[in-house]
Amino acid sequence: MDYTRLFDVIVVGGGHAGTEAAHAAARMGCDTLLVTHSIETLGQMSCNPAIGGIGKSHLVREIDACDGLMAKVTDRAGIQFRVLNQRKGPAVRATRAQADRVLYRQHMRYAIETTPFSNRYLILF
């Protein structure tokens, strides 16, 4: 990787915002660089290993409708799935998944590593 060139987009951070941001820019054909302090913790779930829930799963579906990562990775890492508010109307129905923390990280890293275009990450201390 030629780090001296002028990138289109540099994303600082490899968490849930950083991975989606870098992947989105790369999907759009941009020369993208992801800068993180550790490749090992790309997509790390720092707190509860769960994705979705009321209001939140709506955001996950919106990311998915734009071909983003979170829903795809959760489907591959989820070890329990439930539909909440099933007896209420469809507007507030929500999906919640319990994820395997290790699988989530692995699938997220795989998705970032196999992004087309020139997306690369760099570790900075």
Partner 1 sequence: MGLTLRSKTVVITAGTFLAGQIHIGMNQQSGGRAGDPASNDLAKSLRDKPFRIARLKTGTPPRIDSRSVDLASLPEQPGDTPTPYLSMMSVGNEHPTQIACYLSRTTEKTRDIILENLHLSPMYAGVIEGVGPRYCPSIEDKMVRFADKPTHQVFLEPEGLTSHELYPNGVSTSLPYEVQLDIVRSMEGCADAVITRPGYAIEYDFFDPRDLNSTLESKLISNLYFAGQINGTTGYEEAGAQGLLAGANAALRAQDKESWTVGRDEGYLGVMVDDLITLGTQEPYRMFTSRAEYRLALREDNADTRFTEKARSLGLVGDGLWRKFNERQESIEKELTRLKSLWVRPADPCIEKLNQVLTAPLSKEATAHDLLKRPEIHYQDLVEFADVDCNDDPSISSQVEILVKYSGYIDRQTDEIKKLKKNEQVRLPADIDYSTIVGLSNEVKQKLLDHRPETIAQASRISGVTPAAVSLLLVHLKKLELTHLAS
Taking CB under 8 A as the criterion, which residues in 10-49 touch partner 1?
A: 10-13, 15-25, 27-30, 32-33, 35, 37-38, 41, 44-49
Contact mark string toward partner 1, 63..102, x via CB under 8 A: xxxxxxxxxx-xxxxxxxxxx-----xxxxxxx-xxxxxx
Q: Which of 34, 46, 99 is nearest to 73 (CA)?
A: 99
Residue 62 structure tokens: 């919106």
Q: CB of 61 within 8 A of CB of 71?
A: yes
Q: Which is nearer to partner 1, 45 or 109 (CB)?
A: 45
Closest distance to partner 1 from the beta carbon of 87 (Å): 13
- At residue 78, the 3 state secondary structure works out as strand
